[in-house]
Structure 1
Amino acid sequence: MKRPTIRDLADTAGVSIATANRVLSGAENVRTPTREKVQAAAESIGFYGLGAIQARNAAARPKYRFGVILLQPHRPFYQLVARALLQEAAAIEAVDVELKIEYLEDLAPQNTAARALALASECDALCITTAVHPVVTQALEEIQSRGIPVFALISQLAATGQIHYIGLDNWKVGRTAAWAFDHICKKPGKIGLLMGNPRYRNQEMNETGFRSYFREHAPEFLLLEPLSTFESSAVAQEMTERLLDQHNDLAGLYVAGGGISGVLAALRTTERAGTLVVVGYELMDNVKSALLDGALTLSIAHPLERLADEAVKGMIAAVASKGAQASYTKIVPFEMYTRENL
């Protein structure tokens, strides 16, 4: 068979011979979609210069380094978030994305601020999960003043949009959880509420939506004052045991923050698992088991692939815009799981 020529390549790609030559030589003045089209044509016809085109296209792709700060590494949810982000970064073809993911073992505001400043100094954009605190806010404002975009992941950091946000509409999450108690509990009763830390804006909005539903639709339920778990499983277990001991007639328990493993442990050791309606978060292995054995009634979860896709693509767009004033906030739809749809 006749070896494909540069004209064959150009014709197959639908470009001029001059453009095909520029791609083959690695010229800079060629748009990325055109490079990809010529490379696809070279692959389809078996063009002899395919290797050179692939190498030059790879070299011409924009290269970005993004920093990501998540909460404690021992928490399975954040390991799942990190995995989803890494998979999404690897799947991007138009640009080369390197993710540097760090975890906050020490959640003190001063440590969070210091880690954010250090990581941002070597990255093109920063994505962070953190509580709202003046020390953290000041550090993130300083990072943005350097022209480095900052994205809040999972927990919103600014109500007015100065910091891009990728996550759920947590007010709706709270109302949905309340709807579940209203429709699943056999009769109105006391509902316990466990929060991680009210400085996480997602949890604050969650509680607001939760209470607003009951005021509007189910005032006959009694909502107990929220207890803070401080994102600790041990504290969550202690708080749950206290609730169960002080309120034998508890009808439901809403776990609106971290520490779900501690809650499940308390329910099982007190033999209360399956005796009350429990709504929790995410879909880690222990949550799946709890849904299946009835310790957990319903779980509201982030769609991790969608979350990662919006976060990575948002950072790419923000950096590529070179400081243009645009919002890259994306609200992703949440998922709901029971034992019947696992």
Structure 2
Amino acid sequence: MGRATVHDLARAASVSLATVDRVLNRRGGVRAATIERVEQAVDRLGYRRDAAAATLAKQREYRLAFVIPTGVNSFLASLALEVRKLADVLRSERVFLSIVEVPPFDGEALVEALDRLQSQPLTGVAVVATDHAPVRLAVGSLAARGVGVVTLVSDAPGSGRAQYVGIDNSAAGRTAASLMGRFLRGVSGHIAVVAGSMLLRDHAERRFGFEQVLRTEYPNLIALPAVEGHDNAAVAETALGIELDRHRDVVGVYSLGAGNRGVLAALRKRGLAGTVCAIAHELTEHSRAALAEGTFAAILCQDPGHEARSAVRILRALADNRPFDAGQARIRIDIYLRDNVP
């Protein structure tokens, strides 16, 4: 099979050549969903742009660091894997990606990692941020040095970052509540909420959106104060178990972070699997199995590959002082039920 062409991309993505050209050259006027279709075609067909040759001719290098928490969070592990895949693909275009690992839920370690990056010859930084003052200051310091910074998954507005790349987490929480209300129509009781940490902006926004919809549209369902599982299965199991034992009228569980194995264990141990309506985030090996067996009613998901690619596109545009389409950074919220799980 010969090298893929723009004509192949247009056919694979079911778009015009003009649209392919606009996406490849990062011009505006293209819907986010269409951009994603073209990018998926690029990945699937192994298309290599002529821009690579132009970049080589200019001897332009892009050195981009991704700061990602380590641990047992399957989604963040998937994000890191997507970055590594991109690193292999983009090396020929003189785009060099590195991953800086930090402990989860450790703001001091995150600040130290960002401070260390200031002494490195970086073009841009993508960071899974926590929204507190020292992190915002560290991000602002990098930006002041001319390093483009984007936040991933969880935002830190007011920090000097150029763009947030991720889903609308308030909308995700509202979506979870809307699903919960529909699944539990005519039922009254408490909803247990399990977060990783309420210090994370994405978790706080999901909780806000969730309670907003329950209070206004489903007053028969009362959200309990969120318990923190720190994305750890054992901690999440204990925290949720205490809630289930304390409140015997729990009719639903919203797991808005990681630690879903602990959520499942707490439900199964009490014989509540499949009887309590449970909604969670991210399609992993364990959540997929729970969805198939009916323990989880729905999974809200975001595409880590889309996030990684969008972050790289924006950081390259910032380095070249080119405009970028902010719409490309808006990641869609996928909803999976047992009937449509891939």
Common fold by TM > 0.5: yes
**Aligned pair in 2 of structure 1 residues 109, 276: CA closer, same or farther (>3 Å)?**
same
- In structure 1, stretches of 5+ residues that fail to align are 1-32, 34-53
TM-score, structure 1 normalization: 0.77
Q: Say whether the 8 Å CA contact 1:178–1:210 is kept in structure 2.
A: yes
For 1:262, the equivalent position in structure 2 comes to 262
Q: For residues 56 and 146 of structure 2, what CA distance do their matches in structure 1 show?
A: 26
Query: Could you tell me how far 1:341 is from its partner in structure 2?
Result: 0.9
**Aligned pair in 2 of structure 1 residues 228, 208: CA closer, same or farther (>3 Å)?**
same
Q: For residues 134 and 225 of structure 2, what CA distance do their matches in structure 1 show?
A: 28
**AA at the equivalent of 1:109:** G
**AA at the equivalent of 1:114:** E
**AA at the equivalent of 1:293:** E
1:318-333 → structure 2 map (5 Å cutoff):
318-321=318-321, 330-333=329-332
% identical aligned pairs: 25
Q: For residues 97 and 151 of structure 2, what CA distance do their matches in structure 1 show?
A: 16
Query: Could you tell me how far 1:73 is from its partner in structure 2?
Result: 3.7
For 2:338, the equivalent position in structure 1 comes to 339
Return the index of the structure with the highest Cα Rg.
1
Cα RMSD over matched residues?
A: 2.7
**AA at the equivalent of 2:261:** S
Q: For residues 161 and 213 of structure 1, what CA distance do their matches in structure 2 show?
A: 31
**AA at the equivalent of 2:147:** I
Moved over 3 A (4+): 54-61, 88-95, 159-163, 324-329
1:41-80 → structure 2 map (5 Å cutoff):
58=56, 60=58, 62-80=60-78
1:16-35 → structure 2 map (5 Å cutoff):
none
- Any idea what SS the aligned residue of 1:100 has? strand
Q: For residues 331 and 160 of structure 1, what CA distance do their matches in structure 2 show?
A: 19
For 1:214, the equivalent position in structure 2 comes to 214
**Aligned pair in 2 of structure 1 residues 294, 205: CA closer, same or farther (>3 Å)?**
same
Query: Could you tell me how far 1:96 is from its partner in structure 2?
Result: 2.2
Query: Could you tell me how far 1:106 is from its partner in structure 2?
Result: 5.5
Q: Which moved more, 1:120-129 or 1:148-157?
A: 120-129
Q: For residues 73 and 216 of structure 1, what CA distance do their matches in structure 2 show?
A: 37
**Aligned pair in 2 of structure 1 residues 120, 66: CA closer, same or farther (>3 Å)?**
farther
For 1:242, the equivalent position in structure 2 comes to 242
Q: Say whether the 8 Å CA contact 1:85–1:312 is kept in structure 2.
A: no
Deviations 1:29-69 (A, max 9, x none): xxxx9xxxxxxxxxxxxxxxxxxxx9897464532111111
**AA at the equivalent of 1:220:** N
Q: For residues 314 and 203 of structure 2, what CA distance do their matches in structure 1 show?
A: 23
Query: Could you tell me how far 1:110 is from its partner in structure 2?
Result: 1.7
For 2:282, the equivalent position in structure 1 comes to 282
For 1:166, the equivalent position in structure 2 comes to 165
**AA at the equivalent of 2:174:** R
For 2:272, the equivalent position in structure 1 comes to 272
Q: Give the count of matched residue pairs.
A: 290
Q: For residues 79 and 180 of structure 1, what CA distance do their matches in structure 2 show?
A: 27
Q: Say whether the 8 Å CA contact 1:71–1:130 is kept in structure 2.
A: no
Query: Could you tell me how far 1:121 is from its partner in structure 2?
Result: 2.9
Query: Could you tell me how far 1:86 is from its partner in structure 2?
Result: 2.8
Q: Say whether the 8 Å CA contact 1:166–1:311 is kept in structure 2.
A: yes
- Any idea what SS the aligned residue of 1:127 has? strand
**AA at the equivalent of 2:188:** P
- In structure 2, stretches of 5+ residues that fail to align are 1-24, 26-51
**AA at the equivalent of 1:222:** I
Q: For residues 88 and 130 of structure 1, what CA distance do their matches in structure 2 show?
A: 21
